[in-house]
Amino acid sequence: MQKIPVLQTIRHALNAVVQFRNAGIRIGLPWMLALAGVRVIEFFFFSNAVPTEGDPAQAMIFRPADFIVAAFSMVVFSSIAVNWHRYILLDEVTASEKIFRLDRPVWNYAGRTLLIMVFALTPVLLLSAMLLSTFPNVGPLLVFPFFMAGIYIMRMSVALPAAALERKDFGIGAALQITRGNNLQFAGLLSLNALIFFVTFLALAIVLSITGSFGTIVGRIFAFALIVPVNLFLSLFSVSLLSSLYGFFVEQRKF
């Protein structure tokens, strides 16, 4: 039973983003610009439908535009992920006509991602609803079942690179089987991954607050422009981390 080295895995994923940054920019930047364009359109044409602060009853209502942006974001991430997995794991240089690929591996990747979320989060959401309806004050304690769900999401996600590589013999069940006995290690990976995301967004928030970019149209445009490289980095890092996990557990690679 292999034990994943936590710090080496994070370092390996970060090194992949830095070392192959030119390829990553070529693969991911066009999609990120397209996503930014969709979000700008959504902001300028649909932001007036956002509930106001004085309308808390509608705070959790999702507009059709929200679903469209979320679905498009999933497609963007899946397309980038397939090309980046194939570049990292197969040394496959993405052809220009495949930058915006929307072929079967992309849809399989997106579908498997949604399936993993459903498998891991449905029991936790049902449990949370039951507990909150009976014990309204237990809300803070629900962080623990959600953290456990995150561990299993990461373990099951080892099957995602297989979808990108068009392997039909390695699915979610195989990912859980091959990563068994590593819950503690995956807890460490999940915590460090969350820390990297937190620090990145904190730095972004500090930069935006210093430049005084909140509250104006020009500031919003600047914020969207700054979010593009941030999202690109986090997307490439997340996919690199899954590539590292797949390489370690499935292909027996060493860091």
**How far are the Cα atoms of 49, 71, 188 from residue 192, in angstroms, in the given order?**
37, 27, 6
The pLDDT tens digits for 175-195 are: 999 999 999 999 999 999 999
Q: Supply the pLDDT for residue 62.
A: 61
- Report how far apart the first and last C-alpha atoms of the chain are (Å, whole number): 17
For the chain, give the DSSP string: -----HHHHHHHHHHHHHHTHHHHHHHHHHHHHHHHHHHHHHHHHHGGGSPPTT-GGGTTPPPHHHHHHHHHHHHHHHHHHHHHHHHHHH--PPPGGGTT--SHHHHHHHHHHHHHHHHHHHHHHHHHHHHHHH-GGGGGGGHHHHHHHHHHHHHHGGGHHHHHTT-SS--HHHHHHHTTT-HHHHHHHHHHHHHHHHHHHHHHHHHHHHTT-TTSHHHHHHHHHHHHHHHHHHHHHHHHHHHHHHHHHTS----
248 contacts 89 by C-beta, under 8 angstroms: no
Residue written as token pair 């557990």: 249
Q: Supply the pLDDT for residue 132.
A: 87
Q: Supply the pLDDT for residue 217.
A: 67
Q: What b-and-e string marks burial along 82-92, b requiring 16 or more CB atoms within 10 Å of the CB?
A: bbbbbbbbeee
Closest CA to 233 of 17, 10, 84, 13: 17
Q: Which residues of the chain have pLDDT under 70?
A: 47-62, 211-220
Burial of 79 (0-12, 13-18, 19+ CB in 10 A): buried
Closest CA to 233 of 199, 208, 207: 199
Residues 146, 141: Cα–Cα separation, whole Å:
10
Tokens for 174, please give them: 């195989």
8 contacts 255 by C-beta, under 8 angstroms: yes
Tokens for 34, please give them: 């397209």
Q: Supply the pLDDT for residue 56.
A: 47
Q: Supply the pLDDT for residue 216.
A: 67
